[in-house]
Amino acid sequence: MTSAAMAGAKRRTGRSTGRILPILTVLLAIIAIWYAGAVWMNATWVRDQAARADTVLTTSELVRQTLMLERPVLPAPHQVAAGLWEGVAGQKITSKRSLVWHGWITLSATLAGFAIGTAAGILLAVGIVHNRAMDQSVMPWAVASQTVPILAIAPMVIVVFASMGVTGLLPKAMIAAWLSFFPVLVGMVKGLRTPDAMQLDLMHSWHASRAQQFWRLRLPSSLPYLFASLKVAIAAALVGTIVGELPAGATAGLGARLLSGSYYGQTVQIWAALFAAAMLAALLVMLIGALERLTLRRMGLAR
Amino acid sequence: MIDTAVVQARDLSLTFSTADGPVHALKDVSLTIDQGDFVSFIGPSGCGKTTFLRAVAALETPTAGTLAVAGMTPDEARRRRAYGYVFQAPGLYPWRTIAGNISLPLEIMGFSRADRQQRTQRVLDLVDLAGFGGKFPWQLSGGMQQRASIARALAFDADILLMDEPFGALDEIVRDRLNEALLDLWKKTGKTIGFVTHSIPEAVYLSTRIVVMSPRPGRITRVIDSPLPRDRPLEIRDTPEFIALAQQVRDGLREGHSYD
């Protein structure tokens, strides 16, 4: 290895530890605060129990007990981690106690809703960009649709679909689509309008049809905006799906897992399901990010 | 009589209505551009030189007067793809290779794949970019990108080439080289060229006719026929004829009170 290469390698490792260290520090701080919170919030219960049993607890005994309650007010990180591990690896994935099974139920509805929402957002954006009447009429309705609290709408959607005999994936996907079409719509309207006057003039000078203008200029120009929107949209779709799983009657999905956890005071189960949902969201966003980098680099649009 | 006029404008006016009242971009402009002419439009900002070129290209619609391009209305000429237009910026698509960019108008116009390839190759040779077809725009210098955009305008064999300050954003050394190359191209292809510029030496060096314009309202103050031969090495710029011609253009600009 040449000295230059060694210096390069050193700089690289230096840079990566330089990046990891702050992340690790923040993570440790969060865990420390979490533990402190768990001790503080669960202490009342532990003291009550001790008073009832007429025993006096030492501080270390108090702390120990607050961190291993079966139904803590706030479960400690290691309890959530154990619950998560138990839910993911400790069950057959076909089991109703498996987080993988519930996660799949949620994921499938999320992806279906994301697909519907993305298609709707793109189609509406194309309409807005190409049609004056749509340009002036669609956007206010789209904005209004997002100001309606989804928590209020979701049960109605579920009930209406159920009355038509449709249950399961589709009603949840509709709620997910409701939330995810909007960022795609806004991003695509902006993206499809990025070509400047000069580029449109060039197309005009070649006597290009609107379809040619769309496929060869507007659509490729809009892709950076589309990907940025898709990241927001997929996270929104996941939230929508989970909200759709909350109304009574749902028995499957991470949302149902959250709900049943709260019914029975299984706080560890709630937190495990929450973390599963968060990790799912992070995974999906990262997936789109990777797709974005790949596409934009190939198109010479990477920034 | 054979009509050799490629562009014929008679009493052409074009008024934009703005929030501050009407702006007379062109007022009573009459001009004839003949087949094979190299006509430069020079004048300060707001004199209507770009507007005139855009009207010829049917990118703007005149409000009065008549304008014929290749014996048709400008819009008919546009539909028949009678002209190629070159803007100040190359406007190449970053997601297409140079060859892909040049074949873009050909795709739009429905040329066959084999024809597209053959034409792309030919114009790449013409602008001295043979071998760069597979490169992406960002891999080329600004001057090379602008040459590619000229190749794109030449690819579909339009008889008229309209150029709106094509070299305005380039440095002078590159500009000199491209001016020479453009003259060479003009001789080889026999195109009729309309060329908008801010630069007196550029206008004098390139043109067979120089149209001097002045603003408010945009109008033609002088049309100067160049006595220079069609073969013009760069050194011609040091000859007394050239300097005298440049002086005439300068006088024309001053006459229009252009630089008040």
B259 and B166 share one domain: yes
Q: Which residues of B touch A (CB under 8 A)?
A: 57, 59, 78-79, 81, 83-85, 87, 89, 91, 93-95, 104-105, 107-109, 136-138, 156
Whether residues B108 and B56 fall in one domain: no
Tell me the C-alpha distance between A102 and B212, whole Å: 77
Nearest to A301 among B83, B95, B109 (CB): B95
Across the interface, of B93, B108, B137, the residue whose CB is closest to A208 is B108
Q: Judge if B98 and B33 occupy the same domain.
A: no
- Chain A CB contacts of B87 below 8 Å: 198, 201-202
Residue A119 has pLDDT above 90, yes or no: yes
Interface contact flag, B95 A220, Cβ < 8 Å: yes
Q: How far is A202 from chain B (nearest CA, A)?
A: 7
Q: Of B141, B157, B173, which residue is a domain's last?
A: B157
Comparing alpha-carbon positions, the chain A residue that sits nearest to B79 is A207
pLDDT in tens, A185-239: 999 999 999 998 999 999 999 999 999 999 999 999 999 999 999 999 999 999 9
pLDDT for the residue numbered A15? 58
**B85:A300 CB<8 A:** no
Confidence of residue A1 (pLDDT cuts 50, 70, 90): very low
- Residue of A206, A215, A295 to mutate, testing the B interface (most B Cβ within 10 Å of its Cβ): A206
Task: Domain of residue B138: give its range.
Answer: 90-157
Q: What is the pLDDT of residues A225-276, one digit of tens each?
A: 999 999 999 999 999 999 998 876 678 889 999 888 888 888 999 999 999 9
How large is the greatest C-alpha to C-alpha distance in chain B, in angstroms?
55
* Same domain membership, residue B172 and residue B230: yes
Whether pLDDT at A170 is above 80: yes
- Does the pLDDT of residue A301 top 80, yes or no? no
Please answer whether residues A153 and A178 qualify as being in contact, where contact means their C-beta atoms are separated by less than 8 angstroms: yes
Nearest to B89 among A198, A203, A217 (CB): A198
Q: What is the pLDDT of residue A12?
A: 53
Domain end marker among B157, B188, B203 = B157
B118-123: Cβ within 8 A, 24+ apart: B119/B155, B119/B156, B119/B157, B120/B151, B120/B155, B123/B151, B123/B152, B123/B154, B123/B155
User: Is A120 an 8 Å CB contact of chain B?
Assistant: no
pLDDT reading at A2 higher than 50: no
Runs of H (alpha helix) within B39-133 = 49-56, 74-79, 98-108, 113-126
- For position B260, what pLDDT does the model report? 47
Average per-residue pLDDT for chain A: 88
pLDDT band at A70 (very low <50, low <70, confident <90, very high): confident
A11 pLDDT exceeds 80? no
Return the SS3 of A250: coil
Domains detected in chain A: 3-74 (no CATH), 99-298 (1.10.3720.10)
Q: What is the pLDDT of residue B234?
A: 85
Report the share of chain B in percent with pLDDT over 70: 97
B153 shares a domain with B166 = no
Looking at the structure, tell me whether residues B109 and B234 fall in a common domain: no
Q: Which value does ipTM take for this structure?
A: 0.87
The share of chain A scoring above pLDDT 90, in percent, equals: 57
Same domain, B17 and B77: yes
User: What angle (nearest 5°) sits at the alpha carbon of residue A158, between those of residues A157 and A161?
Assistant: 80
Separation between Cα atoms, residue B238 and residue B153, nearest integer Å: 32
Q: Are residues B186 and B259 in the same domain?
A: yes
How far apart, in whole angstroms, are the C-alpha atoms of residue A171 and residue A46? 43
Q: Would you state the pLDDT for residue B124?
A: 93
Residue that is last in its domain, among B157, B172, B202: B157
Record: contact B81-A206, CB cut-off 8 A:
yes
Banded model confidence at residue A82, pLDDT cuts 50, 70, 90: very high
A171, A244 in Cβ contact below 8 A?
yes
Residue of A nearest to B89 (CA): A198
Q: Are residues B11 and B109 in the same domain?
A: no
Quick one: pLDDT band at residue A302, thresholds 50, 70, 90?
low
User: Which residues of chain B have a pLDDT value below 50?
Assistant: 1-2, 258-260
Mean pLDDT of A279-297: 93
B45 and B114 co-located in one domain: no
Nearest chain B residue to A207 by CA distance is B79
Instruction: Write the CATH number for B236.
Output: 3.40.50.300
Q: How many CB atoms lie within 10 A of CB A163?
A: 8
Three-state secondary structure call for residue B117:
helix
- Please indicate, yes or no, whether residues B16 and B143 belong to a single structural domain of this protein: no
Statement to judge: residues B206 and B236 lie in one domain: yes
The model's pLDDT over B108-132, given as tens digits with 9 standing for 90+, comes to 999 999 999 999 999 998 888 999 9
Q: Taking CB atoms and an 8 Å limit, are B94 and A299 in contact across chains?
A: yes
Domain count, chain B: 2
